[in-house]
Amino acid sequence: MEQEQPYSYREQILWVLLIEAMIVAGLMFVSTFFWTSICGDSLKSCVDYDTSLGPIAFLLLSALRPFVFTPFFFMGLIAGPAFGTLHGTAYTLIGGLASTVIITGIGRILGKQLVTPWMTANLPQTSTFIRQQDYKIAFFLRLVPLVPFDLASLFFGALGFRWRHILWTTLAGSLPEALLFARMSSPTATLTESAFDTLALIAVAVILPLAAGEFLARRNGRSMWQQARLVYVELVNEVRRNNRIKRRTNLSPDRTPIILLYGFFSTRRSLRILERHLTAKGYDVISFNLGGLLGTFFTSSILDSATFIDGKIKRQLDRHGIKNIHIVAHSKGGLVALWWLLRMGGNQFCKKVVTLGTPFKGSRLTYLALITPLGLIWRDMWQMRPGSAFLKQLDRSPIPQGLDIYCFHSTRDRVATGKDGLYQPEPRSSQVHPIQLDEVSHFEFLSSRGVVDQIAAILGPPGPTKAKDNSESNAENVLLQQG
């Protein structure tokens, strides 16, 4: 019987294109059905000057607009003939503020659960810098029509932008767009008049304030453009600085080192606290840059990554004369580790593997990427979706004798919730050891002292004590003092 292939890129492309086409068609149907139900038998009647909408009804529709997948400018087209240019512009802006508050609030909820922990683990300096520059970023995104209005609001909320900056930049940045479409839809306005009024408003409300701000910024020694570039520079510098790999030359063949693997869209920076805690307990710790987006953020295929670590681990074993290793892997890293151990003979070198919040049953969050063009690029998203051929084949993989798998999982984990973080092979095996820590969230697995203590208890003593040089001793003392 021919063995099922664990992954097909061609299948991924076909399914993602089909899914996205169906989603676009569905969104268009929902939007058209909603507005024709409100306005009449056609979308044209929604922007007809006879539309009889009161201000309260219009503002309620503006608040509902994001949930029926309607662009912001459409409300200006309705408001112009219903209320006139000036009042229509004002109502469009107020409705835009209302929808911004709702979408930003949703973004804040998602941000606290996923984005903030990820930024704290991977890019803490960049996260702080972005929040310091939030009003500049928000104002720029509001002025650029290529950035969807509600997507920008979701972005503001997820990154924790300050409310006062979100509101005033939304008001100022969306004013030209609101005026343009309210003016265009007025039955007495010509296209030339609409364009002239909008350009005049942009000159007064946007260009002059920007010019004044640029003048003041240059007097302080740095232009606004230079400040905007600092966001990109800070991001690049932090990524490079925190993901440099220092070659280990002091590994002892008498000790069993720990290989650390990080998760999806994370970097080596996310392992910093865990690595320091394990090192302070006396373990030799090794981690690799697993590549992916920008060569740093881990988005590579799980199968390709397993082949990659196979070569890296074997070179470390040969270089230092080491016979065995332990693996501690977070999230997607656990899938890479288990495929290497169960399907590529890695069990010859590793007898204990600890997984932290690994989505063995897949993660529904993968669908967020699969319904966007990212689903055509990131192969790991298709492999980690619930019910994928890769996960099914991993479940059917026999566990070699002598290998123990310890699965840390939690009901607070929003990526691999509850038993989704527990490897459950077919048939069940006593070599899989569930460790339930419901007080720990997905990224807290990488920083919790309780988790480190349990890992140390599982792996046992690190081996014979090595002589430390002064720099190592001083670094460890500082770590212990910092707690």
pLDDT the model gives residue 467: 47
Q: Is the Cβ–Cβ distance between 261 and 337 less than 8 Å?
A: yes
pTM of whole model > 0.85? no
pLDDT the model gives residue 200: 65
CA 11/CA 21 separation, integer angstroms: 15
Q: What domains appear along the chain, each with residue ranges and CATH number?
A: 9-234 (no CATH), 249-461 (3.40.50.1820)
Q: List, for residues 423-462, the tens digit of each pLDDT value.
A: 999 888 999 999 999 999 999 999 999 999 999 999 998 8
Q: How many other C-beta atoms are found inside a 10 Å radius of the C-beta of residue 238?
A: 19
CA 177/CA 376 separation, integer angstroms: 33
Identity of the residue numbered 439: E
pLDDT the model gives residue 188: 62
CA 142/CA 73 separation, integer angstroms: 12
Q: Which of 176, 184, 179, 180 is nearest to 203 (CA)?
A: 176
pLDDT the model gives residue 471: 40
Q: How many other C-beta atoms are found inside a 10 Å radius of the C-beta of residue 15?
A: 15
**SS3 assignment for the chain:** CCCCCCCCHHHHHHHHHHHHHHHHHHHHHHHHHHHHHHHCCCHHHHHCCCCCCCHHHHHHHHHHHHHHCCCCHHHHHHHHHHHCHHHHHHHHHHHHHHHHHHHHHHHHHHHHHHHHHHHHHHCHHHHHHHHHCHHHHHHHHHHCCCCCHHHHHHHHHHCCCCHHHHHHHHHHHHHHHHHHHHHHCCCCCCHHHHHHHHHHHHHHHHHHHHHHHHHHHHHCCCCHHHHHHHHHHHHHHHHHHHCCCCCCCCCCCCCCCEEEECCCCCCHHHHHHHHHHHHHCCCCEEECCCCCECCCECCCCHHHHHHHHHHHHHHHHHHHCCCCEEEEEECHHHHHHHHHHHHCCHHHCEEEEEEECCCCCCCCCHHHHHCCHHHHCCHHHHHCCCCCHHHHHHHCCCCCCCCEEEEEEECCCCCCEHHHHCCCCCCCCCCEEEEECCCCCCHHHHCCHHHHHHHHHHHCCCCCCCCCCHHHHHHHHHHHHHC
Q: Residue 354 has which token pair?
A: 């600890």
CA 157/CA 163 separation, integer angstroms: 9
Give pLDDT tens digits along the chain (483 positions).
345 678 899 999 999 999 999 998 998 898 888 888 877 766 566 665 455 568 888 888 899 999 988 888 888 888 888 888 888 889 999 999 999 999 999 999 988 888 888 887 777 777 777 777 788 788 878 877 667 889 899 999 998 899 999 998 898 888 888 887 787 766 666 656 656 666 665 665 566 666 666 666 666 665 556 665 665 666 666 666 655 555 555 677 778 999 999 999 888 888 989 999 999 998 999 988 888 887 778 999 999 999 999 999 999 898 888 889 999 999 999 999 999 999 999 999 999 999 999 999 999 999 988 988 889 999 999 999 999 999 999 999 999 999 999 999 999 998 999 999 999 998 889 999 999 999 999 999 999 999 999 999 999 988 765 544 444 444 333 333 333
372: number of CA atoms within 13 Å, CB side?
9
pLDDT the model gives residue 423: 96
